[in-house]
Each structure stands twice: as structure tokens, then as C-alpha cells.
Amino acid sequence: MPAGDGDTADKAEIADRRETGTLGKLMLLLDIVTNADAPMRFTDILAVAGQPRGTLHRQLSHLSEEGLLEVDPDGRYAPGLRLLALASRSWARNEFRLIAEPHLRSLQELTGETVHLGVLRGSSVIYLDKVEGRQPVRMYSQIGNASPVYCTGVGKAALSVLPDERVHALLADMSFHQFTPSTRTSRTLLAELAEIRLSGNAFDREEHEVGIRCVAAPIHSDDLSFVGGISVTGPAYRLTFERLNDWAEPVRQAAKSIMSSMRIGLGPRR
């Protein structure tokens, strides 16, 4: 996916979220600043936050005083060290990530390509872990980043295990953005989900980023309180459609192994 298109879509989505309440507004500001490619000036934040100038100034001051945002000498805002420290501790202590990690590394060693682990959150997939391939290619995905469910392998894999009523409810509130010429629409997505349920694999055929393909499989708890997926991702010139099909079974097996480990490691404590 071209960086400019993704950034525009992310900022538009953030701008559409008019959070209510003090905490919601503070979280919106954190989203705006942390999703920006570079430190933002006050006027830049004001343009997308949808809040009065005085209120915005007070909220940014509070976030800066708490170390969640930092202000450089030119008055530009960036994520603060305290925010990064909180994120780092949360990632390091995530039990599911620790359980999945050896399976991710085994899959990466088998394929030589980048392996992703993601979890479904609303209409997005949040990447919990990423094991770089031996021949890394710059991709949009980063640990902690959110990507749309409708045009990513992990996202479609996660959707495939949900009951129809939950899928339709998500689609009703979802805005579809044409990231590439191959990005699917809501109508074709429903048909594709039916195919994924039969095969156990989802594919991203340059639907989120031009030149990037992946094969994925779903991961979920028995009660569907936790839904996510695992994928093998790489450049289209290496990941031919034949290669994607070759790796479909190993990806499914890795997903099954992770779910088995989940039942043991995250089961009821006695």
C-alpha cells in the first residue's frame, strides 16, 4: 500500500471519531499524534481533532505534563516516552503473544518470509507480533499498528470464524477504502468469507499494499471471546499464487498449534 494513501485513510478515520467525555477526547488526541508520520503542530491537530482551541490546548498540556506526549522546541507534538514505556510493558507481558511466539518463529524458519500475529478489535486488526523474514521488505505493518479487516489476510481470517450476525453488524458500520485496485468491496468480501470457512485459509492478493501478498489462517478461543489470525507475508515477486497455496497448509497447522497451546497456557487456573 502506498504510504500516502494509508496515512490519509487513517487520519480520515480518526477525524470521524468524535469521542465524548474527557477520557475519550484525550484518547482521540493520542491516536492523532501517534498515527502521524512526523511530529504535529498545534494547528495540524486542531484541524482534525474537532475540538475548541482552548479545550485542545488544555488537553495537550495535560498529556504533555503526564509524559504521554512530548513537545519539541518548535512546538510540535510527538509520542512521549511514558506512552512508549507503557506500550512496551504491555507487549512484553502479553501472555498470548508469548504462547504464540515459538510457533511464529518456526513458521518463519520454514518459509523465510515475514510472519504476523494479529487480533481482531472492532473493524481492525491489531498486530501483536511480527517476525521479520530473512529478506525483509518494507511493509506498512508494525507491532501495535491497526489495519482494516476487509483487505488483510489476518483480518479476513478472523472474520471467517465469526457468526454471520456479527459479521453483518461489523460490515454495517465499516467504511471501505480503496487502498489498491485489488481491494475488495463488501459484496465480494461476504462471498470470500464463505470460501475461507471451507478452506481454512485467507489471502491478501495485493489488496492492502501494492506488491505485497500473504496467506493467513484464523486463531480463536472456543467461546470466540478472542479472535485473530496468523499470516505469512512477502513481496508479490516471491510470493506467487502457487507459493501461497504451497504455504496454506503450514499456516493452518501453525494456527492449530497456537490454539492448542492457548488451551493449555490460558486455560482456567486451579
Q: Which residues pair with 220 in a beta bridge?
A: 227
Asked if residue 259 and residue 155 are part of one domain, the reply reads: yes
270 assigned to some structural domain: no
Asked if residue 232 and residue 118 are part of one domain, the reply reads: yes
Boundary residue ending a domain (54, 87, 120):
87
Span 146-175, pLDDT tens digits: 889 999 999 999 999 999 999 998 888 888
Asked if residue 154 and residue 243 are part of one domain, the reply reads: yes
- What is the C-alpha to C-alpha distance for residues 160 and 152, in angstroms, rounded to an integer? 12
Query: What are the phi and psi torsion angles at 202 (to 5°)?
Result: -115, 150
pLDDT score at 145: 78
More confident residue, 176 or 247: 247
Boundary residue ending a domain (56, 87, 118):
87
Confidence check: pLDDT of 7 > 60: no
Question: Domain tally for the chain?
Answer: 2
Residue type, 20: T
Asked if residue 239 and residue 118 are part of one domain, the reply reads: yes
Confidence check: pLDDT of 2 > 70: no
- What is the C-alpha to C-alpha distance for residues 199 and 132, in angstroms, rounded to an integer? 26
Residue type, 259: M
Asked if residue 178 and residue 146 are part of one domain, the reply reads: yes
Asked if residue 261 and residue 143 are part of one domain, the reply reads: yes
227 assigned to some structural domain: yes
Asked if residue 98 and residue 83 are part of one domain, the reply reads: no
Query: What are the phi and psi torsion angles at 44 (to 5°)?
Result: -65, -45
pLDDT score at 17: 46
Q: Which helix (H) or strand (E) holds 27?
A: helix 22-35
Sequence-distant (≥ 6) Cβ neighbours of residue 122 within 8 angstroms: 170
pLDDT score at 137: 60
Q: DSSP letter string over 85-138? A: HHHHHHHHH-HHHHHHHHHHHHHHHHH-SEEEEEEEETTEEEEEEEE--SS---
Confidence check: pLDDT of 141 > 70: no
Confidence check: pLDDT of 39 > 60: yes
Asked if residue 225 and residue 124 are part of one domain, the reply reads: yes
Q: The CATH number of the domain where 156 resides is what?
A: 3.30.450.40
pLDDT score at 8: 43
Asked if residue 125 and residue 56 are part of one domain, the reply reads: no
Asked if residue 219 and residue 130 are part of one domain, the reply reads: yes
Asked if residue 81 and residue 111 are part of one domain, the reply reads: no
Q: The CATH number of the domain where 17 resides is what?
A: 1.10.10.10
63 assigned to some structural domain: yes
Confidence class of residue 81 from pLDDT cuts 50, 70 and 90?
A: confident
pLDDT above 70: percentage of residues in the chain: 83
Mean pLDDT of 95-103: 85
- What is the C-alpha to C-alpha distance for residues 122 and 202, in angstroms, rounded to an integer? 19
Asked if residue 75 and residue 16 are part of one domain, the reply reads: yes
Span 177-234, pLDDT tens digits: 899 999 987 778 888 999 999 999 999 999 999 999 999 999 998 888 889 999 999 9
pLDDT score at 136: 58
Confidence class of residue 50 from pLDDT cuts 50, 70 and 90?
A: confident
pLDDT score at 253: 96
Angle between helices 3-16 and 22-35 (to 10 degrees): 170
Global pTM exceeds 0.95: no
146 assigned to some structural domain: yes
Lowest-confidence pick of 5-19, 119-133, 253-267: 5-19
Boundary residue ending a domain (67, 87, 107):
87
What average pLDDT is seen over the chain? 83
11 assigned to some structural domain: yes
What range does the domain containing 156 cover? 94-265
